[in-house]
Amino acid sequence: MNFNGESLESDVYTFNSCNTPTSFDAPYRITSTSTTITIGWNSPADDGGCPILGYAVFRDDGAGGDIINEVNAVNDPLVRLIPTLNELTVTNFVAVTGSAIRFKVTAYNMEGSTDSQFSSIILAGPPLAPTLMPTLIDDLTDDTMISVSLPLIPDSDNGNSAIISYELLCDDGLGGDFRSIGGFSPISLVTEYTITEGIERGRTYRLIYRTLNGAGWSDYSPTLYALAATVPSAPPAPTLISSSGTSIKLGF
């Protein structure tokens, strides 16, 4: 406006009274197989003041490259346009089974976008459940201890990821809960155990085991039932009670 009058109005400028969402935690593995990975994530704790409009999920190439490949489909409307989405199954892998794939999630609002932290998830499934029960080592088992060995898992059953632990579990000999004997924390590739703690003479103990790879734990093996007992001790020598020319009478 000047002494000649008012000017025409300017163009309208629209702005958002908000910021981009805050960074948020890395996505996590829900399930996986040798060809798919299902991931989940939590929304940013602060949406920046404008509602979350949607997400995009990105991965690397499984060989350490940048995390720039949008999963399943570029600009996938089934991901980008669903603000409540917090889980996605990824299928379009070209990486070798057993590779570690890095993932990140991008959250969008009207002001822009923010990336999550990244996570690394192995393209593999958990091992198959062992088909054999633990093996009782008779020579090392008696009424004070129980010794077992754990059959090794063949590569065909390892879920396409190397086995990194064998866990043995045993109950209390009375049908109670199982307790871990070894291989859970810390993980271990030990496959032979001698149990002495908590062993009571005459009880029958249940023993099972499972295996761990980079994708998780297998189900449990069949159950071994082990009796905490040993053969009877040798009896004393018999004693002669009487004898004749045709018979002998012994006592014991």
Which class is domain 28-122? mainly beta
Instruction: Look up residue 99 and give its amino acid.
Output: S
CATH number attached to the domain at 135-227? 2.60.40.10
pTM: 0.72
Measure the CA–CA gap between 197 and 119, rounded to whole angstroms.
Answer: 40
Q: What are phi and psi of 77, to 5 degrees?
A: -65, -20
pLDDT tens for residues 108-167? 999 999 999 999 999 999 999 999 999 999 999 999 999 999 999 999 999 989 999 999
pLDDT for the residue 118: 96
Dihedral (CA of 69, 71, 75, 79) sign: negative
* Owner of token pair 């054999």: 132
H/E stretch holding 147 reads strand 146-149
What local confidence, expressed as pLDDT, does residue 82 receive?
93
pLDDT of residue 16: 61
Specify the domain boundaries for CATH 2.60.40.10 within the chain: 28-122, 135-227
In sequence order, the 6+-apart residues with CB closer than 8 A to the CB of 2 are none
Residue with tokens 């025409």: 8
Would you call 37 helix, strand, or coil by DSSP?
strand
Q: What is the structure's pLDDT at 8?
A: 74
Euclidean distance between CA atoms 228 and 230, whole angstroms:
7
Do 61 and 27 form a contact (C-beta atoms < 8 A)?
Answer: no
Low-confidence ranges of the chain (pLDDT < 70): 1-4, 10, 12-16, 95
Task: Enumerate residues 6+ apart whose C-beta is below 8 A from 240.
Answer: 248, 249, 250, 251
For residues 63 and 16, is the Cβ–Cβ distance under 8 A? no
Pairing of strands 204-213, 216-217: antiparallel
State the pLDDT at residue 15: 56
In sequence order, which residues have a C-beta less than 8 Å from that of residue 231 and are 6 or more positions away? none
**Beta pairing class for 204-213 and 224-227:** antiparallel
User: What is the reported pLDDT for 244?
Assistant: 82
Q: Would you state the pLDDT for residue 188?
A: 97
- Residue 58 has phi, psi (to 5 degrees) of -125, 155
- Report the distance separating Cα 187 and Cα 208, nearest Å: 16
* Six token digits for residue 145: 């201890």
Query: Quick one: tokens of 43?
Result: 């929304």
